[in-house]
Structure 1
Amino acid sequence: MASVLKRDNTFENIPSIKAKTLRINLNPDIYGTFAEIGAGQETARHFFRSGGASGTIAKAMSAYDKDFSDAIYGIETDGRYVTQSRLKKMLSHEMTLMEERISRETHPDRLFFSYANTVATIDFSKRYKGHGWVGIRFQLDPTQKELDEIILHIRFKQNEARLQQETLGILGVNLIYGAFYKYHKPKKMLKYLYDHIDKDTVEIDMVNFSGPNFKDVDNRLMSLQLIRNDMTDAVMFGPDGNNFLPAAALYKKNILALRGSFRPVTKVNMDMFHKSYDIFIRDPAVNQESTMVIFEITLSNLKASGEIDEQDFMDRAELLCALGHNVMISKFQEYYKLVEYFNRYTKAKIGLTMGVNNLVDIFDEKYYRIYREAFWKPLVSCSSKTFRSTSTP
């Protein structure tokens, strides 16, 4: 056990990685497969090292070769391998094999699981830090037909592939342990994913829970936890209430963003949106089909009346989703930081819809004083190309 000092100056005992793997290995019912692509077999390694793995690991594999991977899991339509689609195919394939090959008559109490990750670690030139998809499909009752599933996306921040592999291994152990022993506390389980991991080493920017034991979990609320716990800078969810990866949704898109508290969504909000959208798509450089509209709420907006009220957040989210909009929750109080974030994923047009007061605030020097030397010239250049304002009457 390791003792960690919490914010309230109390200590919390956190099981070591070995203690977690050993507890799972010594549970006679937990039994599953490990399929890891792109960063070694780091998660399975922890289970092998702790001892007693023969009672837990049915199979551990790594289909590194693309042709082998395609032969096992099928070919992706986009030709990529580090995708949510690939991860889901891995989880489904491995769980199907478990159910086909392990007799329920011989092992009536076995709790099956399949753990998988598909990852790209840092490239040789160190330009791209790397990212990956990690997930587990599992059952908590041997008679359970519908399976539970947790899927998350991570971004590495370390500058060595070896360190990224080690981080991934620990994260995988925390996920498997949380799935079986902390599933009833999903918000706390998210925090436990960082047990023995520094938040400066990896970012979790998307998570989705599904299955019978998570039927009461709203994934939009889980997105909010990622922001509150400093696990990421921005999260997104769609009209269906499911979280999606900002990088994938924003890639090469024209983006029109409307920032507000939306408490509630007013006629002024919608009038600003409709008018700004009409102006935005009239730009010859904007393709309407590749344009994404985002209703953005900052963390500071959610905290405007004190601590975040989760029910208040859900009321806003429900209303925006019911109106058919994509929603972003971000930590970007300054507009230029929001633009920088969008520019990570697209070089297309970016529009920001705002009222006069917000437009005036953009040019307030106090927001840029400490960044003047580093950011002022790029910001002026950027604003002439990407900022588009629609003021209220």
Structure 2
Amino acid sequence: MGSEIKLKGDRVIAQVPSIKDKALRINLNENIYGTFAEIGAGQETVRHFFRAGGSSGTIAKAMSAYDKDFSDAVYGVEKDGRYVTENRLKKMLSHEVDLIEKRLNREKHPNKMFFSYANTVATIDFAKQFKGHGWVGISYQIDPNEDYNEIILHIRFKETDAKLQQETLGILGVNLIYGAYYKYNDPKKLLRYLYDHLDKDQLEIDTINFSGPRFADVDNRLISLQLVKNGMTDAVMFNPKGKNILPAAVLYKKNILAIRGSFRPVTKVNMDMYEKSLQMFLEENKVEKENTLVIFEITLSNLRSDGEIDEKDFMDRAELLCSLGQTVMISNFQEYYKVVEYFANYTKARMGLSMGVNNLVDIFDEKYYRHLSGGILEAFGKLFFRDMKVFLYPMLDENGEITTSESLKVHPRMKELYKFFKFNGKVIDVEDYNPENLKVFSREVLKMINHGTPGWEPMLPAGVSEVIKEKHLFGYDPSKTLVE
């Protein structure tokens, strides 16, 4: 596979090295030395290094513990009996790093930068029902005297042929190793370079985490945002500790309650909506607390400012939601039915959407569904035919009247459709709310914070104003004073 030229308009912006050139550059670096352990799809990555030439100075060992019993004997038995997991990959990396450290004398090889590359994957099954997925990672040194860095990612194959998937995996592996050594100082670029000589219809990367001394300043939440921004995946999730988590793992067979918002900043309205909706959701049949996951979702369109994504603004929101112990999802789903479809890939359990009146009115606006051949009816079929309900939080209108599901107004053409879903119990009003919260609007709070206007703190959940002040989020500046 030869070099590629990347263009921006008519301008050449980069000459992309071929996969052979990347492997050869690694091989010709006399200080890079390590092992390859690949399970499930053959030795697809290491073969590129063998073929490039000069591999004896790079490859300490290459193995494929393909047999499950043999794999268990080498890496231990997994409690859940599964092999294609993050935990399995971490065990592989740890085991191989330990071996290379034990077997090679540091005094004899003072300049060697050791690495261990590993993958554990399942390619497409014979019936072609499951396209396959896998975990890929590298544990490596940039300096012989430094601790190891680690890059771990999860992939989903999109191709429908096992051989093609194996080839794709091999190219990805070379890109990862090359990027780890030559692009580590810019993780955002490293992320993009993972797709060199690959198309996004071949492979999806839905989770990635960087760790180690060279990535001490990397916030993995910001990296997960890049995955969605670059079109590498449709949605990413991170936990309250800020670690990127695999959606499939946390959503699997769960009851899901999702709350969409800008959370700029998160206010008492958001938390009241969350608490009251969750209380009602848990009272539903077939919903058990221990099997329920609440997700605060932010759409990519909600993060754009003048066409560009404001990363500082995103991190401010993420910081607050994590401080409140919430699981956050960033998606490129503008329409709600796409969110529900996404969740339905991983669970058949009951779902709930918590939203305000304005959001529900938007759902019944036909302009959002003109791209669908079946229009709004197709969208509503995807949205409401599942075991899903909307928990509707009321709104205070400009006349001081409270709008609920009984009094909201949709387009005249949508009235009967709305009545149908309302009559069938798909839309339920949140009743036990705090009326004082209806006077709180996040855009007003944000303006007060920016302008130094006093009195915004009581509009936020306990502890949130302290976080904003301590970390100077959303443009907070203690030196600002109110200008009349």
TM-score by length of 2: 0.79
Partner of 2:201: 200
Partner of 2:412: none
Structure 2 counterpart of 1:60, which letter?
A
Describe how 1:247-258 pairs up with structure 2 within 5 A. Answer: 247-258=248-259
Partner of 2:374: 373
Give the distance between the partners of 1:389 and 1:90, measured in 2 at CA.
45
Partner of 1:186: 187
Give the distance between the partners of 1:326 and 1:53, measured in 2 at CA.
44
Partner of 2:299: 298
Partner of 2:78: 76
Contact in 1 for aligned 2:4/2:16 (Cα 8 Å): yes
Contact in 1 for aligned 2:6/2:16 (Cα 8 Å): no
Structure 1 position 275 matched with structure 2 position 306: no
Cα 1:375–1:35 change in 2 (3 A) is: farther
* Equivalent position SS for 1:283: coil
Cα 1:305–1:356 change in 2 (3 A) is: farther
Give the distance between the partners of 1:8 and 1:303, measured in 2 at CA.
23
Deviations 1:204-239 (A, max 9, x none): 000000000000000000001101111000000010
From 127, 130, 144, the equivalent of 2:129 is 127
Contact in 2 for aligned 1:275/1:390 (Cα 8 Å): no
Contact in 2 for aligned 1:239/1:326 (Cα 8 Å): yes
Q: Which has the higher contact order (CA 8 A, sep 6+)?
A: 1
Offset, 1:6: 2.9
Contact in 2 for aligned 1:24/1:56 (Cα 8 Å): yes
Partner of 2:105: 103
Structure 2 counterpart of 1:118, which letter?
T
Cα 1:17–1:93 change in 2 (3 A) is: same
Structure 1 counterpart of 2:240, which letter?
P
Contact in 2 for aligned 1:359/1:389 (Cα 8 Å): no
Partner of 1:389: 391
Partner of 1:32: 34
Contact in 1 for aligned 2:45/2:173 (Cα 8 Å): yes
Contact in 2 for aligned 1:119/1:133 (Cα 8 Å): yes
Describe how 1:2-21 pairs up with structure 2 within 5 A. Answer: 2-11=3-12, 12-21=14-23
Q: Which has the larger radius of gyration?
A: 2
Partner of 1:228: 229
Contact in 1 for aligned 2:352/2:389 (Cα 8 Å): yes
Q: Report the more deviating stretch, 50-59 or 267-276.
A: 267-276
Contact in 2 for aligned 1:272/1:392 (Cα 8 Å): no
Partner of 1:23: 25
Describe how 1:111-122 pairs up with structure 2 within 5 A. Answer: 111-122=113-124
* Equivalent position SS for 2:343: helix
Offset, 1:183: 0.4
Deviations 1:110-150 (A, max 9, x none): 11000000000001111111000000000111111x21000
Structure 1 position 172 matched with structure 2 position 173: yes
Partner of 1:218: 219
Partner of 2:68: 66
Offset, 1:3: 3.7
Give the distance between the partners of 2:378 and 2:234, measured in 1 at CA.
24
Partner of 2:156: 155
Structure 1 counterpart of 2:133, which letter?
H
Q: Structure 1, unaligned stretches of length 5 or more?
A: none
* Equivalent position SS for 1:5: strand
Give the distance between the partners of 1:203 and 1:377, measured in 2 at CA.
26
Partner of 1:315: 316
Give the distance between the partners of 2:182 and 2:96, measured in 1 at CA.
22
* Equivalent position SS for 1:122: coil
Deviations 1:139-172 (A, max 9, x none): 111111x210000000000010000000000000
* Equivalent position SS for 1:390: strand
Contact in 1 for aligned 2:337/2:382 (Cα 8 Å): no
Contact in 1 for aligned 2:337/2:379 (Cα 8 Å): no
Partner of 2:467: none
Structure 1 position 324 matched with structure 2 position 354: no
Q: Percent identity?
A: 68
* Equivalent position SS for 2:308: coil
Deviations 1:226-275 (A, max 9, x none): 01111000000010011000010100000000000111001111111111
Give the distance between the partners of 1:339 and 1:50, measured in 2 at CA.
46
Partner of 1:260: 261
Offset, 1:372: 4.7
Describe how 1:135-146 pairs up with structure 2 within 5 A. Answer: 135-144=137-146, 146=147
Structure 2 counterpart of 1:210, which letter?
S
Give the distance between the partners of 1:75 and 1:262, measured in 2 at CA.
43
Offset, 1:2: 2.3
Q: Structure 2, unaligned stretches of length 5 or more?
A: 396-484
How many residues of Structure 1 are paired with residues of Structure 2 in the alignment? 392
Cα 1:29–1:157 change in 2 (3 A) is: same
Contact in 2 for aligned 1:113/1:138 (Cα 8 Å): yes
Give the distance between the partners of 2:34 and 2:173, measured in 1 at CA.
14
Contact in 2 for aligned 1:154/1:204 (Cα 8 Å): yes
Partner of 2:242: 241
Structure 1 counterpart of 2:122, which letter?
A
Partner of 1:57: 59
* Equivalent position SS for 1:126: coil
Deviations 1:284-332 (A, max 9, x none): 2101101000000000000155411111111110011001000000000
Offset, 1:375: 8.2
Give the distance between the partners of 1:251 and 1:140, measured in 2 at CA.
37
Partner of 1:43: 45
Partner of 1:350: 351
Partner of 1:336: 337
